[in-house]
Every structure is written in C-alpha cells, then in structure tokens.
Amino acid sequence: MIGVAAVTGAVALARFNARWRTVTRTVAPELRTPTLALPLPHVNRHNLALLRLLVSRGTVPLGVRHDVRTVTVSGRDPVAVHLYEPAVRATNSGALLWIHGGGFVMGSPAMGHEFCGRVARDLGVLVVSVDYRLAPEHPFPAPLDDCYTSLLWLARSAATLGVDPDRIAVGGESAGGGLAATLVHMATDRGEPPIAFQLLVYPMLDERTVLRPDTQHARYYLWDTHSNRFAWSSYLGHVPATEPPPHYAAAARRLDLRGMPPTWIGVGDIDLFLAEDVDYGERLRASGVGVELVIVPGMYHGADDYPDVRTSPTMERFTGAKVDALRAALVNPTSLRNEDR
C-alpha cells in the first residue's frame, strides 16, 4: 500500500508541477498563486449548490451605509437590492446600478460589498446592486428582467433618493457585465431610462465562445470552457448553438450598437472572454461610441476579486481604473465625451 501511495503522490506532484510551469509561462508574476495549478472543479449541475455556498463575500468599507430593501415597479415582480452610500452624500449625486458576476448561476451582491462600498465612499454617489434571480432555476429573461426593474426603480425614484437621473451608470463584472450590456440595449430601445455610462468588467457577452474550437483545449484560470458551457446552457435553457438566441439574451449578438453610452471595458489577455470583449469594444467604437478598452497582460478571469492577488499593485491599478472611469462619468461628466478616448 505504501508503494501505491508513493506512486500516486508522485503522479499528482508531477501533474501539479506541469500545471505550475504553465502558470509561470502565462500568468503575470504578481498574479501567480499555487492554487492556479490545482485541478479546480468545473461548475456543473452536480456541484452548483456547493459552489454557491463557497462564493466569496466581501466586506462593506467603514464609513459606508449599507441597506437591503425590496423594490417594486408597477406591473413587474419585486426585486431585492443592496444600497451603498457614504455617511454624507450631496443631493442630486450620480448613481451606479451594479450587477454581480457568477456565470448567471451563482453569486450575490455580497460579492461586491467592497467595490460597491468603495465607489460610494470615494465618489460620493449612490450604488444599487441587484440581487437578481439565478439560472438554471430562473433562466433568461428572469435575471435581466430583475435588472431592468431595479434600473427603472432607481431612475423613477431619483428625486426621492437624491440622485440626478441624467447621471446614472450601469456596470457589472463577468456575467453581470453581460447583463449590464444587454440592460443598456433594453433601456436604449425602450427609451427609459437614459444611461450615462456603462462599466463592463471582463463581461460575458457571447454564447458562441462555447463553440469556438480554439478554446476547447486551452487552459483558462478560474473560469474555463466547461464552466462557460454549463452557464450559458443554464441561462438560455439549452446548449448554445449557431442560431441566434432570443433578443437581449447575449449582448454580442446585437448588430446595431449606435446610440450606446460611453463605455469602459476591462479584461485580462489570458481571460476566456478576451476575444469577445475586444470585438464588442471595437464594434462600439465603429458605431461612434466612446470606448476605453483596458487589457491587462497576464491577467486571468476574476483576478481582481481573487483573495491571493487582489491587493497586488497590478490589481490595485485595475480597480483604480474602474473607479476613475466612474468618476469621470458620474462626478466630472463634462470630461467624458462620446468618442474614442
């Protein structure tokens, strides 16, 4: 038995070392951590309940008021939202509607406590984070409907909340970034409410990435092709195919991007979503939309939220860039023009 255990251990060590060599070849030095070389589980229907319990929770910064309430809009289902604001906020401030990540299938506003609180505190604005329903129990359009309800509530309650209705931004990370992009499409098409800016953090925009042959055997960290396939299948209610999904289901499927608000997109160059994010940014620019596209060398998906590396100088700069983009849109809007930046 000792011999078998020794052989098994040697094989496991050899595999770890091989994966670690891949990490050192592709991941930026500041973002390397031994956990990247471990065989982390793919998200699937068997482990989804457990992974939902393990999703990290942030901490609301000191000096930030945090409130949870249920909001309603006539004719629509109620939605729970988290509100963040500084202890003192000027009347008629800007506001950010934030949408958390988790591949449409997991996560909660608690993931964004730290970022949402920082934005509220540093910029003196109101941040509203949506606790939208999750797939596969609630596939499209339920999550997007919850986001639109929250956006309508924020805009229609602007006077009561002390918010300038002309300075409302929409943002999100990963699946939340994809929901943010389609939410902007929906609001633009329906004419309500106006969106001043969108912040898309490594957004999940295109279900066709699941079908791309070049992604099938490449190594991606924290979010890979297997998890992506399960997530899109859960959200759409079927495995992605070449045929277009329903309108507003996938932001990258929209052909006409004219009239979208100024946009910030940030993604790492070893992120599974790199190609779809860059393509979306370029198509926005071609449509006359002002776009700031930030590509971080050696950054994998979700590195700015990953406990081992999120305080590294590289990720501090990345997070700072997000806050600065929101500052330009919500605090100093005259500095933001709808043209290439």
Give yes or no: 174 in active site. Answer: yes
Distance of alpha carbon 222 from its chain centroid, rounded?
14
Long-range contacts at 237-244 (CB < 8 A, ≥ 24 apart):
237/136, 237/139, 237/140, 239/210, 240/207, 240/208, 240/210, 240/211, 241/211, 242/208, 242/211
Instruction: In whole angstroms, give the CA distance from residue 132 to residue 77.
Output: 11
Report residue 81: phi and psi, to 5°. -135, 155
User: Which of the following is catalytic: 271, 277, 304, 305?
Assistant: 271
Q: Is it true that the peptide bond before 141 is cis, omega within 30 degrees of 0?
A: yes
User: Which of the following is catalytic: 93, 206, 301, 312?
Assistant: 301
Instruction: In whole angstroms, give the CA distance from residue 193 to residue 63.
Output: 30
User: Which of the following is catalytic: 129, 150, 174, 233?
Assistant: 174
Q: How big is the CA angle at 304 (ends 252 and 101), to the nearest 5 degrees?
A: 45
Enumerate the active-site residues. Answer: 174, 271, 301
